[in-house]
Structure 1
Amino acid sequence: MPSYAGPPVTARPGEVASALRLLGYLALAIALVISDHRGGWLSQVRVHANLATQPLWWLAGLPGRLGARVQDDAGTRVQLTSENRNLRNELLIANARVARLQTAAADNAQLRALLGVAESRGLDVQLAPILNIDLDPTRQRLVLDAGTGDGVRLGQAVIDAGGLMGQIIQATPSHSTVLLLTDPDHAVPVVVARNGVRLIVYGRGDHLELSDVPLNTDVKQGDLILTSGLGGRFPAGFPVGTVTRLRPDDSRAFLVGQLEPSARLDRGRDVLLLRSAPRKAWTAPQATGSEVALGASTVGTPASATEQTGGPEASGNDAAASPTDANAGPPVRELLR
């Protein structure tokens, strides 16, 4: 017999009930597994349960989807902004290149025109680039990147493809200053290409002007005005301008004519410096009939005037005294009416 013997152990009612429930659950699980394996009805239950829980899953994943979309939209916006900035920069660069090419094309065209004039007219010229302009509105002057070290001299005539521009009034070893025709301090002896009438053109700042023209002078709108060669400053025969307007002055005793300069005084980047008198005359397009010699060049004069007078001086005077001639148009006195 043991040295110690306690009271007999008896099972508690609660433990027996738990054990019975566990056995029941096991039996139910085994039954469900067997029935699902044979009939597959539990899979259908799971499908219907998944369909019933889909809205819950959608709601549960909504915050994550919204966050990801906001992040993607923000990244796309930043990328588009960067691409837009790059495209704008490329457009600016392309526009700058196009503007540079256009400028180069314009310069090339001007140089071709200058060289074409020099070659076709047999001119002994020197090409000089324009360095600066005088910003004073009362002065019409240019600064050239050529000086006495390049052969520039005072009084040298300056031309372009259109005609006379001015003359050199100041020269240093590296630079020189051009007094343009439109400067108020400038005056040029000229002739009318149509009939050889001698006049003087004055600069008026923004245009050229014929002042103190007698009323009986044969001058009309559209006449081409050329240098006369008088005074020896400018060679004869270079275009100065075209008469665009005639009006009586304040005293109504003389006419005042306004000219459009033949040269492009406000454009271009290069000019031609005339080294010597041209070997070939710069003939005016309006010249018809016989020709009257004017210094180193020739200009046209009406044939009727030459036949009546037999000489260049007489023909010019007869043309000026005959405003009713068929080639002269209406009398200039009609401007006073």
Structure 2
Amino acid sequence: MAAAAVRRMRLGSQGLEVSAQGLGCMGMSAFYGPPKPEADMVALIRHAVRSGVTFLDTSDFYGPFTNEILLAKALQDGVRQKVQLATKFGIRVSDGEINFCGDPAYVRAACEASLKRLSVDCIDLYYQHRIDTRVPIEVTMGELKKLVEEGKIKYVGLSEASASTIRRAHAVHPITAVQLEWSLWTRDAEEEIIPTCRELGIGIVAYSPLGRGFLSGGSNMVENLSEQDARKGMPRFHPENVEKNKVIFERVNAMATRKGCTPSQLALAWVHHQGSDVCPIPGTTKIENFNQNIKALSIKLTLEEMAELESYALANLVEGDRYPSIWKTWRDSETPPLSSWKGE
């Protein structure tokens, strides 16, 4: 597929332009089973860029660190100049424990470390991966603003942030994008977060737009997960919930058959139809799956088809939470008032 087939879009209102579909790179290195062969993943990333998908998403937490190192290798030989590179900070692993950190000194140290691992002078889009509820968001944003002024990052993003956190952060320095989980079976952000982003001119980056693969393969996909795959611990993938949720996949698959596309393409097309300010970032580790995913950009859905799809995955029909209770999301992202901050 030629590069021209992947349209471009403005993400947010600060000037960032990206491919209308991105590439989530996490599964290449972490969480979804063992790390994949490095040479194959470099080839996949470069194939994506040649195909017109130039918005690449990583994090220092993926590995930890190994995904950024992989990206650095893929970005050699002139590839860096063709991509919009997004990475994240804010989740730390210490003695096997996960914690969240937004202290200014940590923000700066994390950015410097990511720049070094990625072998770049500047990060295009730098997200706070999870919100540190001990630190006022204004304090974290103050340090990110300094990094923008110093030319180390171009644009600032938040991931899994509540509407009030987004508003407070945006008042300190413009937020270019909010990354959130959004798919046919994960729609809880539609009530307040997405309208807030639109009011403020903030772009929306949809991660796991294929329901972490469930909307691609249903129960068959779940049965083939390796023992190292983090999805095994996610409530929606527990056997008793898969048994109920498989009906959702079967209905999506039936509509996809009628439309002459794959269930993945149909689920992705649904996300694309949410608006011109939305950029999904499906991940994959196979070139053939990538090629299938970008064809979703050309699928047209009527209002009736959109409504029918949504009826398959109403909130009361989806069994299980999207994360185990130990994982913080936007529901847990409120931070103390700035007046309470006493310094590090």
Alignment TM-score, normalising by the size of structure 2: 0.26
Please identify which structure carries the higher strand content.
1
Alignment TM-score, normalising by the size of structure 1: 0.26
Could you say which structure has the larger radius of gyration? Answer: 1
User: Per chain length, whose mean CA-contact separation is higher, i.e. which structure has more relative contact order (CA < 8 Å, sep 6+)?
Assistant: 2
